[in-house]
Amino acid sequence: MTAGFGLEKLGLWTLRFPRTTILIILLITPLMIFSASRLGFSSDIREIFRSGSPDFNVLEKVADQYPGSGRDILMVFQGPKLFTAETLDRLRELQLQLGLIDDIQYVLSMFSARSPPKGDETPKPLFPFDLQDLSPDQVDALKKAVQSHPLVKNKLVSEDGELALFAIALKDQDRDVDALRELIGEIRSLANEELEGQNVDIAFTGLAVMRVEIIAALSRDQRVFGLIGMTIGLAFCWLYFRKFFYVVIAGTPAAVALIWLLGSMQLLGQEVNVLTNVVPVIVMVIVFANALHLLFGIRRNLESGSEIGDAIADAVRTVGPATVLTSATTTIALLSLTLVRHPFITGFGFIAALGTAIAYVAIMVTVPPMAFYMLKKPKQTGQAARGRDPIGHAISGIANGAALLVRAYPQAIALLGLVLTLGAGTLYALNDTRYRYMDNLPTDNPSYRAIQSIDKKLAGPNTLDLLVQWPDGTEIATPETLKVVRDAHQVLASEPQLKQINALDGVATWYAGGGDKGEADFFRFVEKAKSPTVSRVFAPESSSSLLTANFADIDAADLIPVLNRLETKLDVLRKRYGNVDFSLTGIVPVSAMASTEMIGRLNQSLLIAIAVIIGLIGVAFRSLTAGLVSILPNLLPIAIAGAGLYITGVGLQFTTVVAFTIGFGMAVDNTIHVLNRYRLERGSGLEPADAIDKSITVIGPVLIVSTIVLVAGVGATAFSELPVVQLYGRVSATVLTVALIGALLFLPAILRVVEDWRPSKFAVPRTG
C-alpha cells in the first residue's frame, strides 16, 4: 500500500480512459455552471453566531417582540448649518415624504419630539408648523430645546447640532436584499431631491443597509479573488514552464474545481458568507499547487527520455501518493472545524473540506488525460531540454542553497528552529482573545463612515439590550412595572461604558414633565397614544419591557468584563423580583461572548487536527520517524504567525484561528512532499545525507513555486473590504511563507540530525 492508500490510482484510470474521462467532465461541468449561477449570498451577521444557546434564543426573542429593535435603516445627515430655518424645513418635509412610502412603517427623528402633555391633551410637536418663518434666535432656542429633550438628545441629534439621525422602521423586516437595495435607492433619490443645495451630507447605515453592503462586498470579493487566483496561478505556470500547454493543463483543473465547488454549494443549500467567501480561492490555489507537483514530475520524466504515457504514469505513482496525502491532511484540518459547535464554523469547515476533496478529484481527472493529448516528448533530453530559463535557474539556486546549508549546519538549523518555535509559541500563548463587531462590516464606504460619525457624535453605534420579561399573561401596565424598570435602568447606568439609555421609565419621566399626573395616567396615555417610541421599550402583549443602552465601538476584551459586572448586579434584581427574568442581549454583546467561546473551541479543534495529521503522516509512511520529525516544522508557522498577532496587538480572533487551521492543513503539504521524495531517494539506495540533498534540490523548486502561488492567491483576500477576510489573508500568507522555510531548512535539518543519530527504516523500493 502506498502513502496515498492507493487512491492515486484514479489518475492511472483517467490516463487509461482519457476520452471517457474528458466526456464525463464535459457532461458534468455545464450542469454545475447552471447550479453555481443560482448560488446565493448570506448578509445576516447574526448567522455568524447563531446557535441553540440561551443567549442567542433571547436575541431572537427580542427580535420577535420588538421588530424594529436595531434593524432600522438609519439616515445620517451632517452639516455645519443643519439648524437653519430652511434646512430644518427641508428635513421635516423629507420625513413626511418618507412616511408616505408603502414599505415604511414610521420614521423617528428630532421632528418626532413632542412636549409632554398637560392634562388629557394630545402632546404638541416641539417643532412649529411653519419653520421657514423662524428667526435665527427662534432657531437657536429650538435647537436648545431639542438638545435637552430626554427622548432625543444624543440619540437623534448631536450636542453640536451638526448631525441628525432618521431611524426608518420597515413594515417587513425580513425583505430580501434586492428589495432592500431598491428601497434604499428610492429613499436616497427622495433625500437628494429634498435637500438639494443645502450643503448637507447624507449617508445610510444600520443593519438593513449593511446587509446590502455586505452582499456587494462578497460579490466583489468573489470576482476579484477568482480573477487574482487564476491570474497568479497561470502567470507562475507560464514563468516557470514557458510552455502554453503546461499553463492550460494547470489552469483547467482549477477552473473545473471552482465550478464544481460553487455548484455543489448551491445543491447543498449553502450560501456564500464572510467566511465561505474565501473557500473558492483556497480551492483554486490548492489545485494549482498540487497540479504543479504533478506537472513537474511529468516534465522531469519527459526530460529524462520517458515516453508520454510512461512519464505521466510514473508521475502519478511517485507524486500521486503525496498528493492524496496532502489532500487528506488538508481535509482533516478543515473537518476539525466541524468540532466547533457553531453552525457558521461547522458549515465553513464542511464546505472547505468538500472543496479540498473536489480539488483532488479535479486534478486527477483532468491532468493525466490532458497531458496525454497535449504534451509531447521534447526533442532534447536532460539538462539541454530546459534551455536558458533564468527564473527556473534562480528558483533552483534557492533550493540548492538550502540543501548546502542543511548539509553544512544541520544541528545549528535544527536548534534555531526549536528555539524559534518555543519562543514564538510562548508569545502565541500570551495572546488575548479579541473581537470587534465592526470588523464584520465592509470598511471604507459611506455606511461605515456614518457609523463612525454616530460613534463620535452620538451615544455610540452599538446597543446593549436588557429584556425584562414577566410570566406570560401578566398584566404589566402597572406602577410596579415602572419600579422594576427603574431599578434595571440604574443597573445599566452604573456602567460608564454605557451612554444614553432608552427605557420605559424615561418616557414616564418625560410624560410627568407636563404636570401633576400619576403613573396610572401614564399607562392610559401609553395605551391611547400607541407611540413608535413606546413600542420600542414596552410590549404589554408580550409581558415585557426592553431597555436599550448605546455604547461606543469597543473590543470584546473590554466589553465582556462590563457584561460580567452587569450580570452580578442583575442577580440582585433577580432575587428581589423572583418572577421576573432579566436577560442581557443584543447582537454586539452576544457576538462578543460567542466569539470568545468560539476561539477556545477553535484552539481545541486545531490541536486535535495537528495530532491527527501528524499521526496520519506516520501511518502513511509506515514510520514513527516521519511523524515525529514533522511536529516542530509544522508548529513553527503557527507559532510565528501567533507571535506576530501578539506583537502587533491584534490578538486571537476566530478568523485568525480558522486561518491557523487552514494554513496548517496547507502548510503540512510541503512536509509530505519532502518526506515522500526522501522516502523515494532512500529507496533508490542513497545514504541519508545524500537523500536529503537530493530531496531538497528536486522537490525544493516546486515547493517554492507552489508556495508563491498559494501565498499570492490566499494573500489576495487581504484586499477584501471586509476586515475579517483581510485578517485571514494576512495570517494565512504568514503561515504559508514560514511553512516553506520550515520545509526547506528546518524539516531537513531535523531529519538529518535524527537519521545521523539513529537511522530509520524510512525507505521503500522505488516503483517504476
Q: What is the pLDDT of residues 375-390, one digit of tens each?
A: 887 765 555 444 456 7
Question: Quick one: 9-47+212-377+394-436+592-757 is in which CATH superfamily?
Answer: Multidrug efflux transporter AcrB transmembrane domain (1.20.1640.10)
Residue 765's pLDDT band, with cuts at 50, 70 and 90, is: very low
CA 233/CA 251 separation, integer angstroms: 7
Q: Is the pLDDT of residue 666 over 80?
A: no
Q: Is the pLDDT of residue 211 over 80?
A: no
The three three-digit cell numbers of residue 398, written as one number = 534557492
**563: number of Cβ within 10 Å:** 18
* Mean pLDDT in residue range 128-143: 87
- For 480-492, the pLDDT digits (tens) are 999 999 999 999 9
Task: Report the candidate in 639, 697, 628, 696 with the shortest Cα–Cα distance to residue 667.
Answer: 639
Percent of the chain's residues with pLDDT above 70: 92
CA 524/CA 24 separation, integer angstroms: 74
* Mean pLDDT in residue range 665-692: 86
The conformational region for residue 467 under phi > 0 = left, psi -120 to 50 = alpha, else beta, is beta
Residue 594's pLDDT band, with cuts at 50, 70 and 90, is: confident
Mean pLDDT (the chain, rounded): 84
Residue 516's pLDDT band, with cuts at 50, 70 and 90, is: low
Q: Is the pLDDT of residue 48 over 80?
A: no
- For 191-208, the pLDDT digits (tens) are 999 998 888 999 988 877
Task: Report the candidate in 399, 481, 464 with the shortest Cα–Cα distance to residue 743.
Answer: 399
**In the prediction, which pLDDT does 614 show?**
85
- For 276-321, the pLDDT digits (tens) are 777 887 888 788 878 888 888 898 888 888 889 999 999 888 888 8
Three-point CA angle 587, 588, 590, nearest 5°: 65
Point out the least confidently predicted range of 158-172, 231-245, 344-358, 670-684: 231-245
Point out the least confidently predicted range of 31-40, 110-119, 372-381, 734-743: 372-381
Point out the least confidently predicted range of 135-149, 178-192, 224-238, 521-535: 224-238
* Mean pLDDT in residue range 45-68: 73
Prediction pTM value: 0.76
* Mean pLDDT in residue range 143-148: 88
**In the prediction, which pLDDT does 264 show?**
92
Residue 3's pLDDT band, with cuts at 50, 70 and 90, is: low
Domain with CATH 1.20.1640.10 in the chain: 9-47+212-377+394-436+592-757
Point out the least confidently predicted range of 441-455, 562-576, 738-752: 441-455
**In the prediction, which pLDDT does 427 show?**
94
CA 754/CA 274 separation, integer angstroms: 44
Phi, psi (degrees; rounded to nearest 5) at 355: -60, -40
**In the prediction, which pLDDT does 50 show?**
61
